[in-house]
């Protein structure tokens, strides 16, 4: 009280615990220069529908940043003051998803051609002081109080973020200034609270507020900083020094983040078209190890020929708008472990296919662990690996069955990458490429040609020749004391009178896996 009285006499303004939410600046089209033709029609439809219903609605985040840079965004997000339930009620195909962050997916189109516009409600900025202030507000609704329960822990980490608030607080709770701008496609005005437009022009990636506190609120922002630095580095963006400095010391906070969330963030680093650049940023920022064990393996093996080819191929596919699967990339990263474990088992004379299966199980337990979605992920990775020895078999019915497998294309792409590093003869991949695209009759011809090639390869091998013996003479004995008999006599199909003997079915040993043709797999 006395200090406040003295401060008042001295003309000092009392300190406020309320964070600085920035000053609203409306920038017209004549200044920001966004081309309206770059804006997706479906995003415009979402904002227009919300505005016509009496709500505020803006395109927000990375889409606005890309529009300012003259780029056509791949994804469009919308922010509004409507609650998820109110948004859902305005659209025929809209779904509320998430628990920690409840958002609405508005879906346009069908099947693979569908497009999702993600709609989020303006959220309140939460730190410990703000959380207590909201709890103590008499106007806070019961629903908001339920959302506030355990919203922030004692260290300042945000646990739940479903407390709605005004736009200025929503802007403050976003991570970087260039991601905290709002674009109204109707008025073509950009709303900027934290100098995002100047930072975009200067190519600066700057955290809103105190970086140390922001990383503590949500440690995953550490990984996001790396990802955005990698994504925007080709455009000349650099992390601001104050934003980059606390990254290394804050990395220990990631230990409290659920493993499933870290796994998802790792996939975003590797599958958004900037995998190689992300790994370079991790090394540059001193985060090459310690974020997530499997990511440590990726960074460590990024210099190896096979993983580097796989990462570059993933970046290329994303750049071309083609789909990518985490199972394929992780199968490439962990192939060295599988191959080593398989080779050790083969050296112990284990059956090839069970040996490969055991090696795969060992790698899953050691490297993947228990993460969300491992069942589907593991099944796809296992199928890619188990196909590799089957590609060696190009005769019989094996090729016809293999090419019809749902994951054949992934397995073949894996084989093709192996040829790129000369682990496999390129002629094998070329044969399968031709076989997969051929007609039924052409496939028969290819199999016959492969069979003839296989037989020709046996021609040059030495064969044991025996001198003919007189009729009725006793069969000579070998050095081991056993009689040498003719192939006919040694055949189990021949009886004492020379007539064919009924074949007895051999019982298969337990655990001996066979391919689709019923033949044992190659040991190579």
175 given a catalytic annotation: yes
- Residue 398, Cβ density class (10 Å: 0-12 exposed, 13-18 middle, ≥19 buried): buried
Tokens linked to 416: 């093709």
> Which tokens is 16 given?
């406020």
| Measured distance CA(502)–CA(235) in Å, rounded | 76
CA 486 to CA 62: how far, in whole Å? Answer: 79
Tally of CB atoms within 10 A around 335: 24
Question: Is 313 one of the catalytic residues?
Answer: no
Active site residue 199: no
Catalytic one among 40, 66, 77, 315? Answer: 77
Q: Which of 81, 127, 161, 175 is catalytic?
A: 175
Distance CA 324, CA 416 (A): 16
493-522 burial code (b ≥16 CB/10 A, e <16): eeeeeeeeeeeeeeeeeeeeeebbbeeebe
Residue 201 makes CB contacts below 8 A (sequence gap 6+) with none
Backbone phi and psi for residue 123, each to the nearest 5 degrees, phi listed first:
-115, 150
Match 């080709």 to its residue by tokens. 234
The CA distance from 135 to 141, in Å, is 9
Q: Where are the alpha helices (DSSP H) in 89-210?
A: 128-136, 142-148, 167-172, 196-202
Spell out the SS3 assignment of 425-494: CHHHHHHHHHHHHCCHHHHHHHHHHHHHHHHHHHHCCCCCCCCCCCCCCCCCECCCCCECCCHHHHCCCE
Question: Which positions are catalytic?
Answer: 75, 77, 175
């Amino acid at each position: 009280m006395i200090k406040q009285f003295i401060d008042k006499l001295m003309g000092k303004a009392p300190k406020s615990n309320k964070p600085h939410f920035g000053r609203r600046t409306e920038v017209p089209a004549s200044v920001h220069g966004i081309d309206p033709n770059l804006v997706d029609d479906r995003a415009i439809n979402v904002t227009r529908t919300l505005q016509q219903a009496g709500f505020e609605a803006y395109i927000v985040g990375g889409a606005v940043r890309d529009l300012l840079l003259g780029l056509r965004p791949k994804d469009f997000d919308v922010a509004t003051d409507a609650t998820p339930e109110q948004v859902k009620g305005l659209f025929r195909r809209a779904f509320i998803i998430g628990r920690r962050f409840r958002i609405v997916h508005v879906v346009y189109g069908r099947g693979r051609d569908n497009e999702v516009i993600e709609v989020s409600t303006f959220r309140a900025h939460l730190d410990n002081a703000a959380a207590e202030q909201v709890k103590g507000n008499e106007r806070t609704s019961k629903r908001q109080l339920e959302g506030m329960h355990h919203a922030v822990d004692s260290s300042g980490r945000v646990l739940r973020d479903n407390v709605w608030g005004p736009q200025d607080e929503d802007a403050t709770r976003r991570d970087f200034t260039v991601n905290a701008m709002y674009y109204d496609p109707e008025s073509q005005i950009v709303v900027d609270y934290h100098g995002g437009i100047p930072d975009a022009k200067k190519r600066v990636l700057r955290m809103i507020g105190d970086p140390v506190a922001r990383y503590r609120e949500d440690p995953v922002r550490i990984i996001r900083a790396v990802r955005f630095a990698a994504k925007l580095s080709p455009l000349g963006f650099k992390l601001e020094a104050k934003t980059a400095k606390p990254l290394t010391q804050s990395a220990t906070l990631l230990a409290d983040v659920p493993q499933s969330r870290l796994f998802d963030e790792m996939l975003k680093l590797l599958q958004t078209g900037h995998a190689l650049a992300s790994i370079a940023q991790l090394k540059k920022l001193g985060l090459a190890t310690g974020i997530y064990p499997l990511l440590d393996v990726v960074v460590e093996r990024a210099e190896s020929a096979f993983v580097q080819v796989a990462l570059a191929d993933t970046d290329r596919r994303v750049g071309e708008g083609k789909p990518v699967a985490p199972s394929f990339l992780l199968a490439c990263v962990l192939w060295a472990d599988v191959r080593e474990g398989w080779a050790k088992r083969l050296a112990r004379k284990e059956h090839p296919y069970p040996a490969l299966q055991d090696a795969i199980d060992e790698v899953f337990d050691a490297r993947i662990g228990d993460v969300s979605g491992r069942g589907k992920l593991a099944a796809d990775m296992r199928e890619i690996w188990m196909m590799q020895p089957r590609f060696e078999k190009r005769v019989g019915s094996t090729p016809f069955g293999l090419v019809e497998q749902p994951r054949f294309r992934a397995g073949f792409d894996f084989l093709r990458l192996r040829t790129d590093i000369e682990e496999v003869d390129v002629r094998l991949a070329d044969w399968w490429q031709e076989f997969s695209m051929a007609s039924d009759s052409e496939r028969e011809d290819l199999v016959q040609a492969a069979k003839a090639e296989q037989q020709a390869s046996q021609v040059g091998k030495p064969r044991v020749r025996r001198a003919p013996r007189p009729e009725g003479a006793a069969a000579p004995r070998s050095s081991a004391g056993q009689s040498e008999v003719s192939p006919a006599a040694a055949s189990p199909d021949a009886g004492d009178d020379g007539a064919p003997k009924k074949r007895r079915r051999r019982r298969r040993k337990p655990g001996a896996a066979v391919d689709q043709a019923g033949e044992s797999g190659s040991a190579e």
